[in-house]
């Protein structure tokens, strides 16, 4: 049996063992699904209210995703933590993920502030890659929030990562991600430089479009 088959069998067996040993794993994943629904509903209401008050929809669209069991296991392994539910809830903030695509940078911060100002939303952490872009040019505002999920006989506080970015930022990030994983080898330095230059050019256009919007409004 070749090495590739050995790895596949090991991963499949290991994953089944891990899922079996993690008590209430399915129940926990349902909670993550619930927090996605809860936060998306909050965002949609905020978007509607903002439009009513300001005649402008700050949110272009919303995407969401739930990490697969395989991705959860891989990340917990990389972090070197034990594979159990309590550790999962404590160490992984991005099992439930929402991406909010806004029209302008100002909209990103407005929506983030409105969401985190709600009395039942607890802000866990913030990573601002708009004011402080990553070395490769990536821009986005990442926040982790904790929201109560009301069940039949209890309340569970569940975390969700919310990424907020403009249409322009999302355009660059989506293409850069595809290009990065298109090749098996390391991306050449000259390509990295060109990608960063593209990110800076897009950020300039983003700013100009926002300024034009303000002037016309």
Q: Would you please indicate which residues are annotated as catalytic (active-site) residues?
A: 161
Tell me the CA end-to-end span of the chain in Å, nearest whole number.
67
Rounded (10°) angle between helices 189-216 and 105-116: 80
Structure-token match 């098996």, residue found = 184
Record the tokens describing residue 48, joined without a space: 């509607």
- Tell me the three state secondary structure of residue 138: coil
The per-residue b/e assignment along 48-69, b for 16 or more CB within 10 angstroms, e otherwise, is eebeeeeeeebbeebebebbeb
Residue ranges with strand state E in the chain:
59-66, 96-102, 122-128, 141-150, 155-166
Which helix H or strand E contains 52, and what residues bound it? helix 25-54
């Amino acid at each position: 049996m070749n090495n590739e088959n050995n790895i596949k069998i090991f991963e499949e067996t290991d994953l089944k063992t891990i899922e079996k040993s993690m008590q209430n794993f399915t129940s926990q994943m349902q909670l993550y699904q619930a927090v996605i629904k809860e936060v998306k509903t909050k965002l949609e209401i905020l978007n509607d209210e903002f439009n009513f008050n300001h005649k402008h929809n700050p949110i272009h669209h919303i995407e969401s995703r739930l990490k697969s069991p395989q991705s959860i296991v891989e990340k917990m392994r990389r972090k070197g933590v034990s594979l159990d539910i309590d550790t999962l809830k404590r160490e992984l903030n991005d099992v439930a993920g929402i991406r909010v695509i806004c029209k302008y940078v100002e909209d990103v911060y407005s929506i983030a502030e409105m969401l985190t100002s709600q009395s039942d939303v607890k802000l866990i952490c913030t990573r601002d890659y708009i004011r402080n872009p990553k070395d490769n040019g990536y821009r986005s505002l990442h926040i982790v929030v904790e929201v109560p999920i009301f069940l039949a006989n209890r309340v569970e506080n569940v975390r969700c990562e919310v990424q907020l970015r403009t249409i322009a930022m999302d355009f660059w990030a989506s293409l850069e991600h595809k290009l990065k994983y298109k090749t098996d080898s390391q991306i050449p330095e000259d390509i990295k430089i060109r990608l960063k230059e593209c990110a800076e050019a897009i950020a300039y256009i983003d700013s100009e479009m926002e300024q034009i919007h303000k002037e016309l409004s």
